[in-house]
Structure 1
Amino acid sequence: MKFLYGGSAALAATLLACSFFYAIPLAAEPSYQQNPVQQSFQEAKTTETQAAALPEAAQPAAEAVLEAPIETPGVITGTRHGAPSIEMEPPPVRPTTFLTAPQSYTATAYCFAGRTASGRTVSRGLIAADPRILPLGSRVRIEAGQYSGEYTVADTGGAVRGRRIDVWVPNGREAMRFGRRQVRLTVISYGGRRR
């Protein structure tokens, strides 16, 4: 009888220990998983751009450009042994312009469940902001360490006024770890009417 309880306790402890090592990526985190073909093309592209780099005219601060690849299909060709091989062309680059230069904001985190002021269910990748500065539906890029990424303004708050934002996180422990910090915020697009 003791073995039955001892065995189930050991099984429960093992399952609990496994859950500690399982990590769920943040919605705002960049994906670090790339296939080897994409990595080799990115390495080749960087060496080409470094070799052919010429000084360019400075762009205005409000027109910062971020380059994002566009996926293209590969071309199938034959080899000497008759087995087909796939040759991938490097993806073309599409510039994304930001509406504002990076600005300093004070960021905190919150973890309430339910619905936001815009009616969406809370989830990663959402922030609360002052609707007079960042209207609901605005897309922003935040530089905040491991919380860096693109966010959507979907909530408002009584204490969120001026250049303050509230980043949604799933639990209180993570909100306490986030604390209060200065972040760099860049507007990608404004949502709704800007007052």
Structure 2
Amino acid sequence: MIILFNKPFNVVCQFSPHDSPNPDNKHATLKDFIPIPDVYVAGRLDTDSEGLLILTDDGALQHRLSHPKHKEIKTYWVQVEGAPSDDDLQPLRRGVDLGDFVTLPATVAVIDEPEGLWLRNPPIRERKAIPTTWLQIKISEGKNRQVRRMTAKIGFPTLRLVRYAIGRYTIDGIDIGQYKVLEA
């Protein structure tokens, strides 16, 4: 079984309660949205990121989708602060040195705000004097906070990050906070 979940902002990618040092900072977990037992996440998504999360009861599939050696392409819609030019985006296309590793080249394009994108709760911060731009970024890695670190490195911090696809799986037709079950 494969579950495609459109993860909302501020949801932790685990079923067990989230241990937070601040008791007022409790996050929802997957258990709050998916009442299906014995499924496991195939790859993570940060609490402050949204979009496609794949869960499965198939260990081999989970490994194939989440292990870096299989190089599944992940597609992200990324709202950044500022208006990067094509030259600004070139380092992402070549690979960026993030200190602890150098990213593989990414496919990057400026896009319009994705059609049908839901409102985020809470909304991103808006600055009247600073525009925002949507990018589509495709990577085959998926290291911790990688896309956010990449855009920050080139001077355009990520304000909102939505994972649209992993390989052939997408969030098309799945409302925020909802899931779809597929047979493996």
Normalised to the residue count of structure 1, the TM-score between the two structures is 0.20
Give the number of the structure whose residues are more often helix, by fraction: 1
Q: Looking at CA atoms only, which structure, 1 or 2, has the larger radius of gyration?
A: 1
